[in-house]
Amino acid sequence: MDSTQASLWGVEANYPGSDNAYLTEVAGELLAEALDAGRTALARLMASAPAKAAQA
């Protein structure tokens, strides 16, 4: 992706007896940004793909 992509590195999780609510909250906050980055990457890949010849 790119150097400014959304990241969950450094979010502590999986402690015994924890429901990981903070991880879920942070992931939810980053979801829109991650989806936008994915759509941008997909558009860039589609634009650079060679065109397929029309099938008869």
Q: What is the predicted pLDDT for the residue at 54? A: 58
The residue-averaged pLDDT of 14-28 equals: 87
Q: What is the predicted pLDDT for the residue at 49? A: 86
Answer for the pair 6, 37: CB distance below 8 angstroms, yes or no.
yes
Q: What is the predicted pLDDT for the residue at 14? A: 79
DSSP per-residue string spanning 14-36: --TT---HHHHHHHHHHHHHHHH
- Structure tokens given for 51: 């065109």
* pLDDT interval class at 45 (50, 70, 90): very high
Q: pTM higher than 0.85 for the full model?
A: no
d(CA 37, CA 28) in angstroms, rounded, equals: 15
Cα–chain center distance at 55: 34
Helix (H) / strand (E) containing 46: helix 21-48
Model confidence at 55: pLDDT above 70: no
